[in-house]
Chain A
Amino acid sequence: MLNLDNINFSYGQGEPAGGRLLDNFNLKISEGELLSLVGPSGCGKTTLVNIIAGYLRPISGRVIVDGNVVTAPGKDRIVINQENDLFGWMTVWGNMKIISEDETLIRKYLELTNLSDFTGYYPRQLSGGMKKRLSLARALLADPKFIIMDEPFVSLDYKIREKLQEEILKIIKESGKTVLLVTHDVDEAIFLSDKIILISGRPLTIKSELKIALSHPRKIAVKDSEEFRSLRNSVKNSL
């Protein structure tokens, strides 16, 4: 599905003193998988997201999505950003409409994300959780092969975050999309993922991989289970 093939990257010219941010980095994500990259802030996660999205060009190496080499940003890979990425001057409906003319589909995804009653609202009038759901609805509307979520829950408070994680996981699993989640929150990663990859920075290195076999649909209560606790412990030990 997604294949990162020997990616090299550093900011600026020449070889930086601290070494490259990405040094022959490789990663594979299979179809329909929700994979999390978990690592400390500043280790190059967001840079990696920008390379996969096509906003940054690697010095060398290839990003391959479904057999096609990525050369520019495109509808096949949609990023849901950490910050608010909705157009503030467009209503909920307008934010969807600029992506697609298909009103039936727009209605379908607004329904799916529980936003049908808010089509005339501006982003400013929505709660943090609703904004994220709209970002997801917009992403699904573009029908990408692959969704990248870059710390999507970081700006939300704890209660909303857990509820939203449950909702978004359900929607994503039903859509069957392949997802890369980038986060530094271990609980969030375990709860959402099929597989966790623990990374460290400079250069970005895979420290260990962990399969998460928790069954779907997952409820927040699973965080209190024995299975979840032991997963959390094994992640903490590897970090």
Chain B
Amino acid sequence: MKKWLTFAAVIIIIQLFFVALPDKNTFLPSPLGVFLSLADQLQQGEIWLHIATSLARVVIGFLLAASLAIPLGILSGYSRTFNDFLKPFVEILRPIPPIAWIPIAILLFGVGNGSSYFIVFLGAFFPIFTNTYFGSVSLPVVYRNVALSFEVGRNKFITKILFYFSLPYIFTGLKIGIGMAWMSLIAAELIGAQSGLGYFIQINRLLLRIDNVIVGMILIGAIGLALARSLTVLEKKIMPWLPQSKDSSY
């Protein structure tokens, strides 16, 4: 809680700075001004639609990415042949920023939600895949040996041993992936969308409502944080065998 107190203190100091300012006619709104605009927007209701739209897009794209990246990552770690096949694709595609795909996305999926899912998918896929793969290849030799000696079958080995061993790595990937997905989505919405928080910022920029632009930014930050936090909560629920650290929120 303490870190949020210092955070609030900094905001108050900025507000005091604005109060002390002789010329009130700046482009930048004061913290209080932004806060009032935020309250206003939340009351008007339209912003909720943008929030819901962006959230739906990020969740769907993210789930699509996870459901493909996790199995592929596990299998890549399990099978050398499979990894050799997949690696060139991953290596060449990974450095391309998701927003560079926007023209292709629009050609493939039009301007609707399909493009957004695709961009989110690309943002989330690589961190999840890479971390899962890393987990899968770091299985200690002793576990592999135990599985061999006890003649644990291949399917059981992959689903009960390799997957569970990799889970902490997978969650690292998911946490990085959700952040990447969220950022990619907002960038995509800034460029080519008719709804969502990115669009909300863009339209208010054109209307010169900088207070609303900042409202949009605050919401993006808060929702991004909430998404990452919910994964941390899920992580603790799913992996009770790990020692619980005091604060792993970063």
Using a CB–CB cutoff of 8 Å, the interface residues on chain A facing chain B are 53-55, 72-75, 77-79, 81, 83, 85, 87-90, 98-99, 122-124, 138, 142
Of the candidates B156, B160, B161, B241, the one having the most CB atoms from chain A within 10 angstroms of its own CB is B241
**Interface members, chain B 213-245 (any A CB < 8 Å):** 239-243
* Complex contact A78–B241 (CB within 8 A): no
Judge if B18 is at the interface, Cβ distance under 8 Å.
no
Judge if B48 is at the interface, Cβ distance under 8 Å.
no
* Complex contact A72–B167 (CB within 8 A): no
Q: Nearest 9 A-B pairs (CB), nearest first?
A: A73-B148, A122-B241, A89-B164, A73-B149, A89-B241, A85-B142, A75-B151, A99-B150, A85-B146
* Complex contact A55–B150 (CB within 8 A): no
Judge if B152 is at the interface, Cβ distance under 8 Å.
yes
Using a CB–CB cutoff of 8 Å, the interface residues on chain B facing chain A are 142-143, 145-146, 148-152, 156, 160-161, 164-165, 167, 239-243
With a CB–CB cut-off of 8 A, which chain B residues contact A123? 241
Query: Mind listing 5 A-B residue pairs with CB under 8 Å?
Result: A53-B149, A89-B165, A90-B160, A99-B152, A122-B241
Task: Out of B149, B152, B167, name the residue touching A78 (CB < 8 Å).
Answer: B149
Q: Which residue of A lies closest to B241 (CB)?
A: A122
A98-B160, A122-B241, A124-B241 are contacts. A74–B145 as well, Cβ < 8 Å?
A: no
With a CB–CB cut-off of 8 A, which chain B residues contact A55? 145, 148
With a CB–CB cut-off of 8 A, which chain B residues contact A72? 148
Q: CA separation between A138 and B149, bound complex, in Å? A: 12
CB distance from B31 to the nearest CB of A (A): 46
CB distance from A208 to the nearest CB of B (A): 31
Q: CA separation between A122 and B161, bound complex, in Å? A: 15
Q: How many A-B residue pairs have CB under 8 A?
A: 60
With a CB–CB cut-off of 8 A, which chain B residues contact A75? 149-151
With a CB–CB cut-off of 8 A, which chain B residues contact A85? 142-143, 145-146
Q: CA separation between A88 and B146, bound complex, in Å? A: 13
Q: CA separation between A122 and B167, bound complex, in Å? A: 16
A87-B164, A98-B156, A122-B241 are contacts. A81–B148 as well, Cβ < 8 Å?
A: no
* Complex contact B149–A74 (CB within 8 A): yes
Q: Which residue of B lies closest to A91 (CB)?
A: B241
Q: Which residue of B lies closest to A100 (CB)?
A: B150
* Complex contact B149–A87 (CB within 8 A): no
Q: Which residue of B lies closest to A55 (CB)?
A: B145
* Complex contact A78–B240 (CB within 8 A): no
With a CB–CB cut-off of 8 A, which chain A residues contact B241? 88-90, 122-124
With a CB–CB cut-off of 8 A, which chain B residues contact A53? 145, 149
CB distance from A72 to the nearest CB of B (A): 7
With a CB–CB cut-off of 8 A, which chain A residues contact B152? 98-99
With a CB–CB cut-off of 8 A, which chain A residues contact B167? 89
* Complex contact A74–B160 (CB within 8 A): no
Q: CA separation between A170 and B85, bound complex, in Å? A: 52
Q: CA separation between A142 and B240, bound complex, in Å? A: 27
With a CB–CB cut-off of 8 A, which chain A residues contact B165? 87, 89
With a CB–CB cut-off of 8 A, which chain B residues contact A88? 241
Q: CA separation between A122 and B148, bound complex, in Å? A: 22
CB distance from A70 to the nearest CB of B (A): 11
With a CB–CB cut-off of 8 A, which chain A residues contact B143? 85, 87
Q: CA separation between A99 and B161, bound complex, in Å? A: 12
